[in-house]
Amino acid sequence: MSGTTGKKAVLTLNDKNIELPIYSGTLGPDVIDVKDVLAQDYFTFDPGFMATSSCESKITFIDGDKGVLLHRGYPIAQLAEKADYLEVCYLLLNGELPTAAQKKEFDALVMNHTMVHDQLRKFFEGFRRDAHPMAVMCGVVGALSAFYHDGLDVADPKHREITAIRLIAKIPTIAAMSYKYTVGQPFMYPRNDLDYAENFLHMMFATPADRDYKVNPILAKAMDRIFTLHADHEQNASTSTVRMAGSTGANPYACIAAGIAALWGPAHGGANEAVLKMLDEIGTIENVAPFMEKVKTKEVKLMGFGHRVYKNFDPRAKVMKQTCDEVLEALGINDPQLALAMELEKIALSDPYFIERKLYPNVDFYSGIILKAIGIPTSMFTVIFALARTVGWISHWLEMHSAPYKIARPRQLYTGPAQRDFVAVDKR
Ligand code: SDX
């Protein structure tokens, strides 16, 4: 524990004053170490972990009230504008931005691990062609354990390091394969001569029949920025899932597969797909007002709005909106769904229902519109999120393994039946 203050909280339990240590971090609220309540035969109670710090971390800081997001101290807007995604990967993994030489070496290392074991292709054949790509991702990434499990000692820093590179490098290849499989096109091999985002779009949209396929640089830049905006986000549900799975000593491929599964939910990473479905259902601007009434009566949620932590603008949403405008203008696309989204945002930001609940657009509100402009099908939106978040998951997994840790094992408030004796069925 590197944060300490010497301050104490005093809790009165069973007519006794219990002193609980308070720790301070670099930024954000102090934390109260509550483990001593156990000695007084108490558990703490915090469903959904609204007020619980699960760990100490140096990777990402979020101030929800001010709409601040820092990766190793750097504001997300600066990283999105000035760094590329692999630079952000290096920063998240190592704590510092790479020098020019370090970046060159890191980029080459990642790009040289983009191929997957050719036998992995057979795992795809077990899925129906109309399988949701997230189902394919959960299965195939988990299956990587079968290829690397024996060669992986989670206690060995060298094994952990190469695994991080393998996952960051191979996740775009597997994501593109998940798409190609569902559309019945042949898999495209990665190309080491392309940069990370360009290579991904190449594997997604090139075909063996089109030898001259070139990725539009505007789309490659937008894709790279979308990866950066999704790279990490503190102890969100999927990252906490990865940490919890990792705390059992499970291999990282299994942990990342668990993170992918957790991200899939519409309350989390599945929201970007849900936003496009919502915009499709609303259809026209005339239908916005009646839709908003259904939101207020809680019949539906305004997908892409609200956040557990941000009670102000999600800083990623601001950059995403700016990127959305740039891409659509550069491509000369006039997407009516963008106008619809802007009308929804305008109404929500001026309506007391949303203002009272501090509901603002989050990272998922505009991302789908850009992904659609890039040509990514809606079913692949959460796959893109999982691809980009893999570096965040792995960074937290590495951080957990870099210091002593205990298996995550929460307790409960039990309200079930008290102990009772079994009665044979003919006596009940
Ligand atoms: C991500 O945690 C992370 O960091 C996640 C993420 C990341 O990068 O990892 O940022 C990615 O998951 C972004 C969030 C994407 N999800 C959505 O856009 C789905 C829609 N949003 C909601 O489901 C909701 O806002 C959550 C799940 C995101 C947050 O849920 P909370 O904190 O549990 O919010 P809450 O339910 O306590 O909301 C408070 C009030 C409630 O109303 P009251 O009971 O006070 O009357 O706001 C309402 C909620 O009903 N509310 C919404 C709403 N979100 C909350 N009402 C309508 N539409 C919404 N979207």
Q: What is the pLDDT of residues 30-72, one digit of tens each?
A: 999 999 999 999 999 999 999 999 999 999 999 999 999 999 9
Distance of CA 93 to the CA centre of its chain: 16
Question: CB under 8 Å to 305, separation ≥6 — which residues?
Answer: 348, 354, 359, 360, 361, 362, 365
Residue 133, φ and ψ in degrees, nearest 5: -55, -25
The four Cα atoms 44, 45, 49, 53 give a dihedral, to 10 degrees, of -10
* CATH code, 73-268+378-401: 1.10.580.10
The pLDDT of residue 152 is 86
Question: Does residue 233 line the site of ligand 1, with CB under 6 A?
Answer: yes
Atom 55 in ligand 1: which residue has the minimum CA distance? 306
224 CA → ligand 1 middle, Å: 26
Question: Does residue 301 line the site of ligand 1, with CB under 6 A?
Answer: yes
Instruction: Count Cα neighbours of 74 within 13 Å in the Cβ-side half-sphere.
Output: 21
277 CA → ligand 1 middle, Å: 17
Residues of the chain with CATH 1.10.580.10: 73-268+378-401
Question: Does residue 69 line the site of ligand 1, with CB under 6 A?
Answer: no
268 CA → ligand 1 middle, Å: 9
Question: Does residue 305 line the site of ligand 1, with CB under 6 A?
Answer: yes
Question: Within 10 Å of residue 356's Cβ, how many Cβ atoms?
Answer: 8
Question: CB under 8 Å to 130, separation ≥6 — which residues?
Answer: 182
CATH ID of 4-53, from 2.20.28.60, 3.90.550.10, 3.10.580.10, 2.70.98.10: 2.20.28.60
Residues of the chain with CATH 2.20.28.60: 4-53
Residues of the chain with CATH 1.10.230.10: 271-374
Looking at the domain 271-374, which fold is it? Cytochrome p450-Terp; domain 2 (1.10.230)
Beta bridge partners of 11: 18
Mutate to test the pocket of ligand 1, among 69, 88, 308, 396 (most ligand atoms within 8 A of CB): 308
CB 275 within 8 A of CB 395: no
What are the residue numbers of the active site? 307, 364
Question: Does residue 392 line the site of ligand 1, with CB under 6 A?
Answer: no
Question: CB under 8 Å to 68, separation ≥6 — which residues?
Answer: 61, 62, 75, 315
Question: Does residue 270 line the site of ligand 1, with CB under 6 A?
Answer: no
CB 274 within 8 A of CB 266: yes
3-state secondary structure of 11: strand
267 CA → ligand 1 middle, Å: 7
Query: Can you list the residues of the chain whose pLDDT is less than 50?
Result: none
- Cα distance between residue 73 and residue 153, in whole Å: 31
